[in-house]
Homo-oligomer: A and B are copies of this chain.
């Protein structure tokens, strides 16, 4: 990708996102040349590309203006999963995804790993070293089953930003958000029960439900507004649903933030049918909007929301420090926590508590939000440049995950197998469904370093997708093609 192509991509993104509005005057060629450190002619070439695409129009002696009408590129349409409880499969594919995670030479476009290279993480090491030097025997011992008090206090404080009013006593520390979700699910239902989930849904949640013998109903989910409340209501009327699991903020994998009104409506629905809500907020602090979006928990008056989160996506997954605010299910959650791992590791809890207490956490979060937002701009440029037409792309509002929908007949599992030869791995969409849907979808990670290797990987994936799409359109000439982006 040349410089002018890159710049064109970036500008068209800004137009799409409404940063430059319809009819607005664009920055001068000279301004852009200085801002991006490129030559005047590069900017002129970029503007030329946009002009050709009819995104901008030149006005003599005044510069360039955003064209009055700009078709937004399509996001994935609302999903249409099966409307009945199903058994969950896909464990083998999850295992494959996990295995490639530790192969050093694989470019892991499919992982859920955050960027761990930023300097704002450094104090974590210093705190760890200082703690070891203290040689405090209490750090070797079990701590409370609830978790270390100092950490629970910090977590309770952090949740204020999502509108919650919690105290340390409302928090139970867990071994990552994984355990928070796992104990929450086990606290609110029994094997054989039915739980409603967004479709697509994080594969970890899906496998947990499977492991506990719980059936799921996948609810149609819109890539902008979230779970369909209409479909959920119908499901509630038909089935004895015990709980709903949602990722309302920076959804994994779709990236949306559920509008506040819909969060309220979801809670009302859960109240009406007396169901619990398991709210996975693990990406909530990485929302680009300020202040961060509220949690459903913040609206919860009768303790039916179990708010689950961790420091795995914001700080470090290797620490395995997560937490749950279990509301009225506190005692059951504590029992499930006890039988799952007993107390959580002591030192790591203190390390995280100190990192927050010493004021390192919020600046780190701010930086990560900026990094991911910038990365997103670049990645979406690359995707549009290197991927063929006929795809839909999610428009995440935070975090570092992007969802790509390819034509129905496309087989991402086959694609992934092919890519393994080039040491590239993507997350295939079928991981995110209980009923084997989304085989035509991919999830990409843009927490990876934005460098030539990553661009080359995206280019390779794009070429492989194009190749596969040619084949599948030959094999399925009548296959539904989606809008062209």
Q: Which of A275-295 contact B (CB under 8 A)?
A: none
Copy count, this protein chain? 2
The CA of A121 and the CA of B136, in the complex, are separated in Å by 12
Which residues on the B side are within 8 Å of A213 (C-beta)? Answer: 190-191
Q: Per-position contact with B for A382-406: 1 when CB-CB < 8 Å, else 0?
A: 0000000000000000000000000
| Interface of A (DSSP majority class) | helix
Q: Which of A18-26, A65-73, A176-184 contacts B (4 or more CB under 8 A)?
A: A176-184
Are A137's CB and B117's CB within 8 A?
yes
Which residues on the B side are within 8 Å of A179 (C-beta)? Answer: 340-342
Q: Per-position contact with B for A77-103: 1 when CB-CB < 8 Å, else 0?
A: 000000000000001001100110110
Q: Which of A27-35, A204-212, A218-226 contacts B (4 or more CB under 8 A)?
A: A204-212
The CA of A95 and the CA of B204, in the complex, are separated in Å by 29
Are A140's CB and B319's CB within 8 A?
yes
Q: Does A143 contact B (CB under 8 A)?
A: yes
A-B contact pairs, 20 of them (CB 8 A): A95-B334, A98-B144, A102-B142, A113-B142, A116-B140, A117-B137, A129-B129, A140-B319, A175-B175, A175-B341, A179-B341, A204-B338, A207-B338, A210-B339, A211-B335, A211-B336, A319-B345, A319-B346, A319-B347, A320-B345
Number of interface residues of A (CB under 8 A): 66
Are A317's CB and B125's CB within 8 A?
no
Q: Per-position contact with B for A192-222: 1 when CB-CB < 8 Å, else 0?
A: 0000000000001001101111000000000
14 extra A-B contacts, CB within 8 A, seeds A121-B140, A318-B347: A91-B335, A117-B137, A140-B316, A141-B317, A141-B318, A190-B213, A207-B338, A207-B339, A319-B345, A319-B346, A320-B342, A320-B345, A345-B345, A347-B348
**CB of A29, distance to nearest CB on chain B (Å):** 40
Residue of A121, A128, A174, A342 with highest tally of chain B CB at under 10 A: A342
Q: Does A344 contact B (CB under 8 A)?
A: yes
Q: Which residues of A contact B (CB under 8 A)?
A: 91, 94-95, 98-99, 101-102, 113, 116-117, 121-122, 124-126, 128-129, 131-133, 135, 137-145, 174-176, 178-179, 182, 186, 190-191, 204, 207-208, 210-213, 315-320, 334-336, 338-348
